[in-house]
A and B are shown apart, each in its own frame.
Chain A
Amino acid sequence: MSAQKVAILGAGVMGAQIAAQAANAGLEVMLLDIVPEGAADRNILAKGAIDRLLKMQPAPLMLPKFARRIRTGNLEDHLDWLKEADWVCEAVIEDLAIKQSLYHKIEPFLKSSAVLSSNTSTLPLAQLTSGLSENLVNRFCITHFFNPPRYMRLLEVVPGQCESSGLANLTTSLDHGLGKTVIQCKDTPGFIANRIGSYWLQWGLLSALELGLTVEEADAALRPLGIPKTGIFGLLDLVGLDLMPKILANLQQRLPADDPLQPIAQIPDFLEKMIASGFTGRKGKGGFYSLDTSEGKRVKLALDLASGEYRPARKPDLAGLSAARREGLQGYLTFPDKAGRYAWRVFSQTLLYAARVAPEIAHDIHSVDQAMKLGYNWKYGPFELLDKLGVNWFRQQLEAESQSLPEFLEKSRQFYQIQDGRKWQLGFDGQYHTIQRPAGVLLLEDVKIAGKPLARNGSASLWDIEDGVACLEFHSKMNTLDPLVMEMIEKAIAIVARDFKALVIYNEAQHFSAGANLGVLMFAINTALWDEIERLVAQGQSTFKALKYAPFPVVGAPSGMALGGGCEILLHCDARQSHAELYCGLVEVGVGLIPAWGGCKEMLRRHSEAADRPGGPIPPVSQSFEQIGLARVSGSAFEARNFRILDARDGITMNRDRVLYDAKQLALRLCENYAVTAPPAYHLPGPTGQAALDMGVHQLRLKGQASEYDTEIAKHLARVLSGGDTDLVDEIGENDILGLERQAFMHLIRQPKTLARLEHMLDTGKPLRN
């Protein structure tokens, strides 16, 4: 049984955010901290933490009201609350004595089945448990969250001697409930991710200084290796410059003398001075980068490492980067410019280090790769990178530099291989082992290894995920919906109707879909292909309708962004099984358009069919109008439910890796007695409703909250949502509203200001308010 109630001890940055994520998971949460001396409100620390949670960005809570699931208390008056807790998570200051005294203090209040975990990032489990009762030691483990806990999927667990059923229950809570990928680690300093990550950051910093790269150059130079664009310096700014010396000092103290981190762990003088004078990164006065807002504009500054002064950030011009695109990674790492030299220097040593320490810190290489991917957002883990580079090649390069190789690297040829439709990893024993997925985890990644798609084109594929269910995957750029995706949807409908029971629409990119392919649309505008654009709109409408009325259940399974057309396709599914991290909305007005692939008609239907809706004919219209007119995007799947993009029977999955499995199960459930949806009938207010909406927009315009062109777009949206020239007593159908959508779209698409909005979005990725 997984945990129902959790107590978080310590309401600092991590404790509060862990509490928030537990609340997101639907757990009952108790958040306790000490009573500050002389405090009038003895719960002030925990209460203050909740206030901060509600203000923090990115938001730790998926809905503000989830804060009500967190009970606030203190570590003196409310210790008996702990009796209810299935899991107690300690997240107090990194001080062994304080932690241990707290453990002694709470021990009497823990229920016998409860597990106690520490969120320490620096202290070894052996030290934490020394001197504790055997009873407590057997219920103790380390659960190391990454910051921010809601968004970082990695959770490192050091099981210690925690007995297996307690550990299994906790893992279930962390995995299913909090949505984390649990990686078991050995009890070594920094565990997995921070051990390798700290080495990488420190070595990257020192190497940039030594090779004379600017911070922008250094950060750009690591991108070809799959490092996020923050690179090293941007990441240090993000985590706080003052944290590095602490982590390094701790590692230096606890690692053996011959660890390669030892000789490089010294923080450069200039950095110490920066920290001392408050330049600690984004949370302080600035870091390696800073923002200058003095002249009303936001100018990004970068620290000149030689002079110690800020100057405007420059786009690096590195020849090696184009070599990387042209010649691949090997060509890049041997490219004789500073980018190539830097990338080689940083990664040759980082990968060596990873290969050296892996057997000591992890149970297998897959854990190491997962930890770096989920904890540091690397695109590839160190061993995946080695495979990409070619292990032999890598070894030859190092041998040419007369570097000594760790044994594990010396013997290896390839770390992963595909055989019998499965992926195998090289164990520290020199044998290949299959990679085990937890029950209830179904990944397209694995399906792809096992077989060939049922159908495929440049933008989408159809996969067999067994038990009569097929999966439609988008893989166009940013998963935008282009004519090829539409083609594949139509094909999928035919194939599923013939050979399958149900269809799931899902992919494993960061974002489900950014919406219609604006590049294709823009190209059609630029070539004045107006009739072609109208055809594209009509094709989208009919394809989505075909999906909606297909003779089998269709489940949309989104994660990340689902915007514009990406939202509309979800609205046409029978049901949705969404990842909790869903950022979904009809954002077309941002590019000067309105939803025209049935988004308007679907939102109208949802707002009028909702059981809890206000009475009268106007609310569904005005609610749709507000939602689309303001281009609202949900901050989570729960908020999408409030927007009525998700409805009552739709599911929400906390763990990204479980979305497809859950969606498949939902699809199979829908197969029982499946009946095709009946087309809805609409009664809309017509011109009178439109006049009411126009008045509202007029008010916004007067208050300066809408531009003149916003008003113009809103007028067209109002006409569509009010049903055009209809009247409440008339009944109109889907096709009538689709016609109105098309008409409004085709009008707006020819307007210069819409063109300017589209262009701005394509060039900058941001909406333009003109």
Chain B
Amino acid sequence: MLTYSAPLRDMRFVYEELLQGGELQSLPGMEDVSPELLGAVLEEAARFCEKVLLPLNQSGDQEGCRFENGQVFTPKGYREAYRQYMEGGWPSLSCDPAYGGQGLPHMLHCMVGEMICSTNLSFAIYSELTHGVYELLHQYGTDELKSLYLPPLAEGRWSGTMCLTEPQCGTDLGLIRTRAVLQEDGSYQLNGGKIFISAGEHDLTENIIHMVLARTPDAPPGTKGISLFLVPKIVPQADGAPGPANGVECVSIEHKMGIRASSTCTLSFNNAKGWLIGKENQGLRAMFLMMNRARLWVGLQGLGLAETGYQNAVHYARERLQGRALKGPVKPDKPADPIIVHPDVRRMLLTMRAYNEGMRAMSVWAAARLDHSERQTDRKTRQEAEDFIALITPVIKAFFTDLGFEATNLAIQVYGGHGYITENGIEQLVRDARIGQLYEGTNGIQALDLIGRKLPAHAGRHLRTFFQPLEAYLNKRRNHPHLAPMVGAVAKAFGRLQRASVQIALKGMQDPDEGAAVAYDYLQLFGLVALGWMWLRMSETALAKLENDPQGFYKAKIATARFYMEKILPRSGSLFSSIMAGAPAITEFETDRF
């Protein structure tokens, strides 16, 4: 059985000490969001996750979802947990008060999200998709649709899905075939099939609201002819009371490597009634809002699972007695020393720790910037925050899920053979983590997004929001008496990132393969530097507080930073070499010889 204790101390360090509350209180509507308030909510969330969600994680994985006659039943205990989740008001945390929300910041939502992902990723999928649909509808829906659908979504009484994938159409949405025909009453009639729909059918909520991409009859081919529709499982009446069942049918559910308590459905739309969201043929733009938010959240899944992996690995490494420390027994009174004495085990634990705390700082910072991007009144500052989010989204999605997979895998390694045994629960983390690298756009696609869209746009304007402040930060601390060595290490990696960026921009302009072939390396390099900066900032904050450090929290922070700088960041060198070597080794290999 896995154990978990929410990292509240570290979260507080990040949002309060490192980020000064994300400077959110200067934003309109956020005046009351004090660190005290955040702390109180997080404690509540921790209790819910530790006591309610975690105990269902392994049983849910073993039982899985059950499909019977078009209906899906979630594993034992999920309905009850979901009821408590609703009663606690969790679904509406960062929703708009005008439509049933509590108006709290994304920054808070992000930390709660990490805890939910740590304790029960399958459960998280039901709840988080609903939030994505809420935001999408909030931005693009008509007032009528908004007042009918948003409050029950905020309440959690209704849940949501995103329906993109079809059998012939995964990454390439231009191939969508589902048809939507305008009806006399202004609604549309949808016909077609969708696959891999998370939470497409289940027994947790009264209604399920599907966001469906489809084509109208005279739509131009390709991605320019795709429209977005709201299709409810049950068509609500004007007052929100349940109306007739809609033509949406769950045909089957998938058997999967992980997230087994989450239902992954094949849906069939048969003359289903739907409503257009946004304008015809502009569905992708709207859907991308939801998808981009979802990508940030998938990044959190990597962090959440890695945190649970780390905690359990530490626990195991302390308890498991095997052999002796190489320099002589540490616990001579025991039959053997705990394996935590071994440098290689410590290497693995520190790697996980350095990843997790770095990712946490990065994700909370990004979430705070997301709040700024929505609420800033100054146009330029808002634009900068938007640029930053656009830039960092593919990095967070891909880099964090890669690290999440690596970290959970290391957790198994710490367990040795016991990690491979289902009963111990640790292997579930790896299986659950694996999906993050695949859905919401594979990590390869994220890398292409980074180099193909984000990097060249407006001659690199998005990059400015990361590169210029980092350069200024490093420049100011070059001669810092205590930080200087770390500043040097990050500056070195950053220099590589800068030069790699120019290399890709120049070469990629002439040959798209040149960019594409090194995109993955570039994203990894970007992620390493981003976490490097986070570790530098955390060290600076911790350094100032070393004098009052009874628990050794700050000392450990600085020690972990050192590990990151000396043991992880140097990977930037090999990534840089690979990027500069360019595409030929990849593109010139004859396809027939594979």
Question: When chains A and B are docked, how far (Å) is the Cα of A532 from the Cα of B497?
Answer: 13
The residues in B between 482 and 525 inclusive whose CB is less than 8 angstroms from any CB of A are 498-499, 501-502, 505-506, 510
B460 within 8 A of A: yes
Partner of A527, one of B221, B458, B463, B510: B463
Q: List the one stretch of B112-120, B157-165, B466-474, B540-548 in contact with chain A.
A: B466-474
A163 within 8 A of B: no
Partner of B467, one of A319, A458, A519, A526: A526
Enumerate chain B residues within 8 angstroms of A529, measured Cβ to Cβ.
498-499, 502
The residues in B between 161 and 216 inclusive whose CB is less than 8 angstroms from any CB of A are none
> Are B510's CB and A526's CB within 8 A?
no
> Are A528's CB and B467's CB within 8 A?
yes
> Are B224's CB and A526's CB within 8 A?
no
> Are B221's CB and A523's CB within 8 A?
no
Q: Report the minimal beta-carbon distance from B189 to chain A, rounded to whole angstroms.
A: 24
Enumerate chain B residues within 8 angstroms of A319, measured Cβ to Cβ.
220-222, 224-225
> Are B470's CB and A528's CB within 8 A?
yes
Enumerate chain B residues within 8 angstroms of A322, measured Cβ to Cβ.
222, 224
> Are A759's CB and B458's CB within 8 A?
yes
Number of A-B contacts (CB under 8 A): 61
B461 within 8 A of A: yes
Enumerate chain B residues within 8 angstroms of A763, measured Cβ to Cβ.
458
The residues in A between 554 and 584 inclusive whose CB is less than 8 angstroms from any CB of B are none
Question: When chains A and B are docked, how far (Å) is the Cα of A483 from the Cα of B461?
Answer: 20
Looking at chain A's contact residues, the main secondary structure is helix
A763 — nearest CB in chain B belongs to which residue?
Answer: B458
Q: Report the minimal beta-carbon distance from B252 to chain A, rounded to whole angstroms.
A: 35
> Are A524's CB and B221's CB within 8 A?
no
Question: When chains A and B are docked, how far (Å) is the Cα of A759 from the Cα of B459?
Answer: 9
> Are B459's CB and A523's CB within 8 A?
yes
> Are B220's CB and A337's CB within 8 A?
yes
Q: Which of A322, A483, A528, A530 has the most CB of B within 10 A?
A: A528
Question: When chains A and B are docked, how far (Å) is the Cα of A524 from the Cα of B461?
Answer: 10
Enumerate chain A residues within 8 angstroms of B459, measured Cβ to Cβ.
518-520, 522-523, 526, 762
Q: Report the minimal beta-carbon distance from B469 to chain A, rounded to whole angstroms.
A: 9
B293 within 8 A of A: no
Given A319-B221, A759-B461, are A527 and B506 neighbors across the interface (CB < 8 Å)? no
A59 within 8 A of B: no
> Are B502's CB and A524's CB within 8 A?
yes
Q: Mark A270-297, 1 if CB is under 8 A from B, else 0.
A: 0000000000000000000000000000
The residues in B between 415 and 467 inclusive whose CB is less than 8 angstroms from any CB of A are 458-464, 467
> Are B461's CB and A526's CB within 8 A?
yes
A389 within 8 A of B: no
Question: When chains A and B are docked, how far (Å) is the Cα of A319 from the Cα of B468?
Answer: 38
Question: When chains A and B are docked, how far (Å) is the Cα of A528 from the Cα of B472?
Answer: 9
Q: Report the minimal beta-carbon distance from B305 to chain A, rounded to whole angstroms.
A: 33
Question: When chains A and B are docked, how far (Å) is the Cα of A576 from the Cα of B524?
Answer: 51
Q: Report the minimal beta-carbon distance from A11 to chain B, rounded to whole angstroms.
A: 50
Looking at chain B's contact residues, the main secondary structure is helix
Q: Report the minimal beta-carbon distance from B467 to chain A, rounded to whole angstroms.
A: 4
> Are A528's CB and B471's CB within 8 A?
yes
> Are A527's CB and B498's CB within 8 A?
yes
Q: Which of A483, A525, A527 has the most CB of B within 10 A?
A: A527
Q: Mark A296-336, 1 if CB is under 8 A from B, else 0.
A: 00000000000000000000010100100000000000000
Given A458-B510, A483-B506, A532-B502, are A527 and B460 neighbors across the interface (CB < 8 Å)? yes
Q: Report the minimal beta-carbon distance from A10 to chain B, rounded to whole angstroms.
A: 52
Question: When chains A and B are docked, how far (Å) is the Cα of A671 from the Cα of B505?
Answer: 41
Enumerate chain B residues within 8 angstroms of A530, measured Cβ to Cβ.
471
> Are A526's CB and B464's CB within 8 A?
yes
A482 — nearest CB in chain B belongs to which residue?
Answer: B506
> Are B224's CB and A520's CB within 8 A?
no
> Are A520's CB and B506's CB within 8 A?
yes
Partner of A526, one of B221, B468, B472, B506: B468
> Are A523's CB and B502's CB within 8 A?
yes
Q: Report the minimal beta-carbon distance from A182 to chain B, rounded to whole angstroms.
A: 40
B455 — nearest CB in chain A belongs to which residue?
Answer: A523
Enumerate chain A residues within 8 angstroms of B221, measured Cβ to Cβ.
319
Given A522-B459, A759-B458, A759-B461, are A527 and B220 neighbors across the interface (CB < 8 Å)? no
Question: When chains A and B are docked, how far (Å) is the Cα of A523 from the Cα of B224?
Answer: 29
Question: When chains A and B are docked, how far (Å) is the Cα of A489 from the Cα of B336?
Answer: 72
Enumerate chain A residues within 8 angstroms of B462, measured Cβ to Cβ.
526
Question: When chains A and B are docked, how far (Å) is the Cα of A523 from the Cα of B461?
Answer: 8
Q: Report the minimal beta-carbon distance from A235 to chain B, rounded to whole angstroms.
A: 28
> Are B467's CB and A527's CB within 8 A?
yes
Question: When chains A and B are docked, how far (Å) is the Cα of A530 from the Cα of B475?
Answer: 12
Enumerate chain B residues within 8 angstroms of A532, measured Cβ to Cβ.
498, 502
Question: When chains A and B are docked, how far (Å) is the Cα of A520 from the Cα of B225?
Answer: 34
Q: Mark A739-770, 1 if CB is under 8 A from B, else 0.
A: 00000000000000000000100110000000
Given A319-B222, A319-B225, A458-B510, are A526 and B498 neighbors across the interface (CB < 8 Å)? no
> Are A527's CB and B502's CB within 8 A?
yes
Question: When chains A and B are docked, how far (Å) is the Cα of A322 from the Cα of B225?
Answer: 13
Question: When chains A and B are docked, how far (Å) is the Cα of A530 from the Cα of B471?
Answer: 10
Enumerate chain A residues within 8 angstroms of B468, measured Cβ to Cβ.
526, 528
Question: When chains A and B are docked, how far (Å) is the Cα of A529 from the Cα of B499?
Answer: 8
A523 — nearest CB in chain B belongs to which residue?
Answer: B460
Q: Report the minimal beta-carbon distance from A205 to chain B, rounded to whole angstroms.
A: 25
Enumerate chain B residues within 8 angstroms of A483, measured Cβ to Cβ.
506
Partner of B498, one of A519, A520, A528, A762: A528
Enumerate chain A residues within 8 angstroms of B222, measured Cβ to Cβ.
319, 322
Enumerate chain B residues within 8 angstroms of A523, measured Cβ to Cβ.
459-460, 463, 501-502, 505
Enumerate chain A residues within 8 angstroms of B467, measured Cβ to Cβ.
526-528
The residues in A between 478 and 498 inclusive whose CB is less than 8 angstroms from any CB of B are 483
Q: Report the minimal beta-carbon distance from B174 to chain A, rounded to whole angstroms.
A: 11
Enumerate chain A residues within 8 angstroms of B506, measured Cβ to Cβ.
483, 520
B497 — nearest CB in chain A belongs to which residue?
Answer: A527
Q: Report the minimal beta-carbon distance from A331 to chain B, rounded to whole angstroms.
A: 12
Q: Mark A445-471, 1 if CB is under 8 A from B, else 0.
A: 000000000000010000000000000
Enumerate chain A residues within 8 angstroms of B463, measured Cβ to Cβ.
523, 526-527
Q: Report the minimal beta-carbon distance from B49 to chain A, rounded to whole angstroms.
A: 40
Question: When chains A and B are docked, how far (Å) is the Cα of A681 from the Cα of B524?
Answer: 53
The residues in B between 279 and 324 inclusive whose CB is less than 8 angstroms from any CB of A are none
Enumerate chain A residues within 8 angstroms of B501, measured Cβ to Cβ.
523, 527
Question: When chains A and B are docked, how far (Å) is the Cα of A636 from the Cα of B459?
Answer: 32
Enumerate chain A residues within 8 angstroms of B461, measured Cβ to Cβ.
522, 526, 759
Enumerate chain A residues within 8 angstroms of B502, measured Cβ to Cβ.
523-524, 527, 529, 532
> Are B460's CB and A526's CB within 8 A?
yes
The residues in B between 217 and 271 inclusive whose CB is less than 8 angstroms from any CB of A are 220-222, 224-225
Enumerate chain B residues within 8 angstroms of A759, measured Cβ to Cβ.
458, 461
> Are B458's CB and A762's CB within 8 A?
yes
B224 — nearest CB in chain A belongs to which residue?
Answer: A319
Enumerate chain B residues within 8 angstroms of A526, measured Cβ to Cβ.
459-464, 467-468
The residues in A between 527 and 544 inclusive whose CB is less than 8 angstroms from any CB of B are 527-530, 532
Enumerate chain A residues within 8 angstroms of B472, measured Cβ to Cβ.
528
B464 — nearest CB in chain A belongs to which residue?
Answer: A526
Q: Report the minimal beta-carbon distance from A487 to chain B, rounded to whole angstroms.
A: 12
A525 — nearest CB in chain B belongs to which residue?
Answer: B464
Q: Report the minimal beta-carbon distance from A758 to chain B, rounded to whole angstroms.
A: 9
- Please list 9 pairs of residues, one from A and one from B, whose beta carbons are closer than 8 Å in the complex, sorted by A's number: A319-B221, A319-B222, A319-B225, A523-B463, A523-B502, A525-B464, A527-B467, A528-B464, A763-B458
- A interface vs B, CB < 8 Å? 317, 319, 322, 337, 458, 483, 518-520, 522-530, 532, 759, 762-763
Given A528-B464, A762-B458, 19 extra CB contacts under 8 A: A317-B224, A322-B222, A322-B224, A483-B506, A518-B459, A519-B459, A520-B506, A522-B458, A522-B460, A523-B505, A526-B459, A526-B460, A527-B460, A527-B502, A528-B470, A529-B502, A530-B471, A532-B502, A763-B458
- B interface vs A, CB < 8 Å? 220-222, 224-225, 458-464, 467-468, 470-472, 498-499, 501-502, 505-506, 510
Shortest Cβ-Cβ A-B pairs, 7 listed: A319-B220, A528-B471, A526-B460, A522-B459, A526-B464, A523-B460, A528-B467
